[in-house]
């Protein structure tokens, strides 16, 4: 996939203000931080939170360091989002938080408390996975859930995207099997409605 788009919809730009912002707004546990910013919420130890996952309210116990990916996989048994790159560079842990694509592996669970989360498990009847199957857009499949969620978020925002925009919009997701050409064809078919 290309790295930049003249239309300014690069995948990394698309994620800016979503995953990164969610992490940046997370609570911290240092007393220095509390002293430096009176009123800042400081959390330590285990906290009970709820979030709406795929339309269902779910409760979790999390520490300040617990990621959204950990909660999804190990507390909610939703294993679609993958821990391929814990730093988020593969895009395999992509989920939607409040409709925005974020890397669950780099999003703290506390920052998602009370929010709406959509994972690939809820997209079974969506046109995106069907287009992936039709265009043979997967091999080993490790990257596929992240791509499917990323494509859904991208098309929600850019339903009439050009090929160049699609390439740029998905450049934060990596497929080590190299099925990019077929993924691109799958997304183009969705834009064209066929």
Q: Summarize as ranges the residues that interact with ligand FES (CB under 6 A).
A: 138-144, 175-177, 179
Q: Report the residue number, 5 or 179, with the smaller CB distance to ligand FES.
A: 179
Q: Which is nearer to ligand FES, 24 or 177 (CB)?
A: 177
Q: Minimum Å distance from CB 33 to ligand FES?
A: 39
- The smaller minimum CB distance to ligand FES, of residues 10 and 182, is found at 182
The size of the chain, in residues, is 194
CB of 143 to ligand FES, least distance (A): 3
Report the alpha-carbon distance of residue 15 to residue 119 in Å, rounded: 16
Q: Which is nearer to ligand FES, 24 or 140 (CB)?
A: 140
Query: What is d(CA 83, CA 35) in angstroms, rounded to the nearest whole number?
Result: 35
Residue 31 C-beta: closest distance to ligand FES, Å? 43
Query: Which of 101, 106, 80 lies closest to 10, judged by CA?
Result: 101
| Cβ at position 176, least distance to ligand FES in Å | 4
Q: How far is the CB of 146 from ligand FES (least distance, A)?
A: 9
At residue 161, what are phi and psi to the nearest 5 degrees?
Answer: -60, 145
Nearer to ligand FES, 75 or 85 (CB): 85
């Amino acid at each position: 996939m290309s790295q930049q788009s003249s239309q300014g919809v690069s995948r990394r730009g698309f994620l800016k203000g979503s995953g990164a912002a969610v992490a940046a707004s997370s609570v911290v546990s240092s007393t220095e931080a509390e002293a430096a910013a009176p009123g800042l919420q400081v959390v330590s130890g285990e906290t009970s939170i709820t979030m709406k996952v795929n339309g269902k309210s779910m409760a979790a116990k999390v520490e300040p360091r617990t990621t959204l990916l950990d909660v999804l996989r190990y507390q909610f048994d939703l294993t679609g989002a993958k821990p391929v790159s814990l730093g988020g560079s593969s895009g395999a842990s992509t989920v939607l938080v409040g409709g925005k694509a974020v890397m669950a592996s780099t999003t703290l669970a506390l920052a998602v408390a009370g929010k709406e989360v959509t994972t690939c498990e809820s997209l079974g009847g969506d046109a995106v996975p069907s287009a992936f199957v039709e265009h043979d857009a997967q091999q080993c499949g490790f990257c596929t859930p992240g791509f499917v969620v990323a494509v859904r978020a991208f098309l929600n925002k850019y339903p009439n995207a050009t090929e160049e925009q699609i390439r740029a919009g998905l450049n934060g997701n990596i497929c080590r099997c190299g099925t990019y050409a077929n993924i691109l064809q799958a997304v183009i078919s969705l834009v064209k409605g066929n």
